[in-house]
Amino acid sequence: MAVPHRRSSRYFLMAFAAMVLGIFLAASSAWADGSSGVPNAVPPKGEHEGKNVEQPIEFPHNIHVDINKINCMYCHTYARRSKVAGIPPTSKCMGCHLVIATDKPRIKKLTEYWEKKEPPRWKKVHDVPDFVHFTHEKHLKRFVFDNEGMSVDRVSEVCAFCHGEVKKMTVAHKVKPLNMGFCARCHEANKGPFDCWKCHK
């Protein structure tokens, strides 16, 4: 089977190393600091009345994040190494749910998908137009890993800038407008780049 070319594997290793280092630094500084709030991060203004979207499985974010304290990046694992955060692969869900809560109707539904070898077709909630190139990777680096006083455990607070308090939701819905003004306000407050070609190309 195909083996990735070394360019990619090297990249992977470096990204991984950077990530581990980042987590370590962030965690240690959080330990030392222990203060509350998110320094240097001003949530951009603007609200959006989100629609409730019917998903193939009514995924309860609250149970996973709020009750079980699972880190956002445990499932949305691509966020720290790619521009897209990614929907967790079905195998990741099954990693726990082969044994946990297997009798619940939603898990039964998930198991059905798994056995059919077919991932659920989720409906997209947070979207930006095609000419907008937003990258999760860089934002996480800036606001989590490079941010002194920000523990990686509290990444959900950073995610919440744009995604709202997902940990209080069941199925995620959009609460922020995610338009250019929304982005620009945050870039202004945090001295983000204002080069058009950063996001549009």
Partner 1 sequence: MSGNDINRRDFLKILGWSGVGVAVAGCDRPTTVTLEEGKEEVVAYLQPEEYVIPGVGVWFASTCQQCPAGCGVHGRVREGRVLKMEGNPDSPINKGKLCQMGQAGVQGHYNPDRLKKPMLRKGGVLDEVSWDEALAALEQKVGPASGLAGDRFAWFTGTVSGHQSVLLSAHLAAMDSKNHFIHETINNAVVRAVNQDMLGEAMPRYDLPAAKMVLSFGADLVGAGASPVHFSGEYAKFRTGSLRGVLVQVEPKMTLTGGSADLWVAIRPGTEGVLALGIANQVLLGDEVKIAGLPDNIRTLIAGYDVEKVAGITGVTGDRIMRIAKLLKDRSPSLVLAGASVEGHAHGYQSAAAIMVLNIVLGNIGKTILPSGSSPFPQMEAKAGGTRDLLALADAADKKALDVVFFHGSNPVYTAPAALGLADKLKNIPFKVVFAVHPDETAMSADLVLPILSAHEDWGTHMGVYQPEQKSISIQQPLMERLYPDTRGFGDLLLALLKARQVKEYESFADYYGYLKNAFAALPASVKGDAVSDEDFWGKSLQKGVLNIGTVAGALNPKMVEISFPEFKSDAQQYYLAPSARLGLWDGRHANLPWLQEAPDQISKVVWTSWVEMHPATAAKLGVKEGDFVKVTSAQGAVEAQVYVYKGIHPQVIAVPMGQGHEEYGRYAKGRGVNPLKILAPVTDAKTGELALYGTRVTVAQSGRREVLVKLMGSETQLGRKMVGTVTASVFDRTEGTKNVT
Partner 2 sequence: MSLDNILTNWSRYRKGAEEGGFHEYEHQWGMVVDLNKCIGCNACSVACYAENNLPVVGEKRCGKNQAMNWLRIERYWDEPDLAPYEAIPTANVDAWIEGNPPAKKTELKPSMPSSYLPGLLEQDGQSFEQRVGFDGTKSEFQDFGASFLPMMCQQCHAATCEPVCPVAATYHTPDGLNAQVYNRCIGSRYCSNNCPYRLRYFNFWSYYEDAWPEPLHMQLNPDLSVRDKGVMEKCTFCIQRIRVAKDKAKMEDRKVIDGEFSTACVQTCPTGALVFGDMQNPESQVSKLWSYHQVERGKTKQNKENKELRGYRILEGLNTDPSVLYLERVREV
Contact residues toward partner 1 (CB under 8 A) are: 1-9, 11-12, 50-51, 53-54, 78, 81-84, 86-91, 114, 117-133, 173-174
197 binding partner (options partner 2, partner 1, none; Cβ < 5 to 8 Å by kind): partner 2
Residue 127 binds to partner 2 (criterion: CB under 8 A): no
Residue 175 CA, chain-centre distance (Å), reads 15
Q: Is there a contact between 164 and 177 (Cβ–Cβ < 8 Å)?
A: no
Residues 50, 160: Cα–Cα separation, whole Å:
14
Residue 46 CB, nearest approach to partner 2 (Å)? 18
Structure tokens, 171: 């199925």
Residue 192 CB, nearest approach to partner 1 (Å)? 20
- Closer residue to partner 1, CB minimum distance, 82 or 102: 82
Residue 177 CA, chain-centre distance (Å), reads 17
Task: Measure CA of the first residue to CA of the last residue in the chain; give whole Å.
Answer: 35
Residue 62 CB, nearest approach to partner 2 (Å)? 32
Residue 124 binds to partner 2 (criterion: CB under 8 A): no
Residue 197 CB, nearest approach to partner 2 (Å)? 5
Residue 66 binds to partner 2 (criterion: CB under 8 A): no
Residues 120, 105: Cα–Cα separation, whole Å:
15
Residues 132, 177: Cα–Cα separation, whole Å:
14
Q: Which of 172, 174, 175 is nearest to 57 (CA)?
A: 172
5 binding partner (options partner 1, partner 2, none; Cβ < 5 to 8 Å by kind): partner 1
Residue 24 binds to partner 2 (criterion: CB under 8 A): no
Residue 191 binds to partner 2 (criterion: CB under 8 A): no
| C-alpha triplet 91, 97, 98: angle, nearest 5° | 85
Instruction: List residues binding partner 2 (CB under 8 A).
Output: 11, 14-15, 18, 129-131, 133, 135, 137-138, 141, 194-198, 200-201
